[in-house]
Amino acid sequence: MNDTRLALYDQTMRANAHPAGLTHEMSSYAGRYTSASGSLRYILWHHFPRELIDTVVHEELAACAGRADSLMWKVYAHDTPSTELAAALVAEGFNEHDPSSLMMLRVDDAIQRLGDAVPSPLRVRQLDTATSLDAYQEIWDSVWPDAPNARYVNDYRTLAAKADPGIAFFAGFAGDEPVSSGYLFHHPGDAIVLLCGGATKAAWRGHGAYKSMLAARARIAKARGAQYLAVEASPKSQPILARLGFETLSTLAFYEQAIGAPR
């Protein structure tokens, strides 16, 4: 079962992905996805023999120069290659971000299990305007004060203004204060909804905020006709999701490098 779900994830969310707001092109060995603002290029999928690692890394760096400010390469443990590629990226000057666990659960199972959760005092609402994403800036600056949060929020403001159907934003509020965030990627018709951006201000952790955000997005996933929820979970989120029944299918890490002049 895990192999089947992992193959579905690789095809739907990587090799043939349609992430909201990103343009897609394929090189000989990798899938490139670039934000409309040029803030980031992602490599979400790759496949090439080990002997071409250095060649492909240099090709992708050169291809990114002048087209995006930063290149982020997602390397999964089950990729070919993986360990050697990760080492080559670090040697080339990429910064390794915190490792994550790829986890999945059926939408119907998630709704059933989250329905038994203790209710949270937070009010979850969907954010559907550029201005409403000020909430994300506030939450993320509190949770990750040293991260380039505005880079992401500004790209998401553009998607909200366009009402892009491939992404939906949510926040949990304590009165008028935004305290918890979470959004989803879902290309209409796809079987998988990818849950991202989960963050809660420190003072509100342990009050059911995380599960409330999961439940809100699971209901949207059900309404969209998706079959599975997927999360690339941080070490803090992984045990919460495991208790809810999410299965770990693989692990991954993000490697990022700022791009300067063409090499």
pLDDT digits 0-9 by tens, 189-234: 999 999 999 999 999 998 889 999 999 999 999 999 999 999 999 9
pLDDT of res. 120: 74
The domain tally of the chain equals 2
Give a yes or no: residue 93 inside a domain: yes
pLDDT of res. 207: 86
Same domain, 133 and 233: yes
Confidence of residue 263 (pLDDT cuts 50, 70, 90): very low
Give a yes or no: residue 263 inside a domain: no
Same domain, 112 and 68: no
Distances (CA, A) of 25 to 31, 88, 121, 132: 6, 23, 44, 31
Same domain, 229 and 107: yes
Give a yes or no: residue 80 inside a domain: yes
Same domain, 117 and 243: yes
Confidence of residue 261 (pLDDT cuts 50, 70, 90): very low
Residue 59, class by beta-carbon neighbours within 10 Å (0-12 exposed, 13-18 middle, 19+ buried)?
A: middle
Same domain, 22 and 69: yes
Give a yes or no: residue 223 inside a domain: yes
Report the C-alpha gap between 227 and 8 in whole angstroms.
11
Q: What is the pTM of this model?
A: 0.94
pLDDT of res. 260: 62
Residue 166 has pLDDT above 90, yes or no: yes
Give a yes or no: residue 47 inside a domain: yes
Per the document, the length of the chain is 263
Domain that holds residue 20: 2-99+252-258
